[in-house]
Amino acid sequence: MRGGGKIMEFLKVIVPGKEGQDIDVLINKEKNGKVNEVLMLSRGNALVSVDLAGAEEKVVDLRNTTATNPRVEEIKA
């Protein structure tokens, strides 16, 4: 990418059994979008979870994604 800009990556978080619910995605413990949406994030490692009691946390390495082919992560809650 020119001009020293950050390379952006794309992530979609799903929560099995919670389809259709309005659930916030947590990236590095901060709200950053909703489940089942494609999120745009900086390249590199991110701590991914959702705003539900007992939800697991995963460290995800975001690389080589596109808006039409995001990384899909399943979070158990």
Task: Note if the pTM is more than 0.75.
Answer: yes
Query: What's the token pair of residue 30?
Result: 């901060």
Per-residue pLDDT of 15-61, as tens digits, reads: 999 988 999 999 999 999 999 999 999 999 999 999 999 999 999 99
Q: Is the dihedral of CA 28, 30, 32, 33 positive or negative?
A: positive
* Residue 4 pLDDT: 58
Cβ-based burial of 10 (10 A; exposed 0-12, middle 13-18, buried ≥19): middle
Q: What is the CATH number of the domain that holds 37?
A: 2.60.40
Structural domains counted in the chain: 1
- Residue range(s) defining the domain that contains residue 28: 2-74
Predicted local distance difference test score (pLDDT) of residue 50: 98
How sure is the predictor about 1, in pLDDT bands with cuts at 50, 70 and 90?
very low
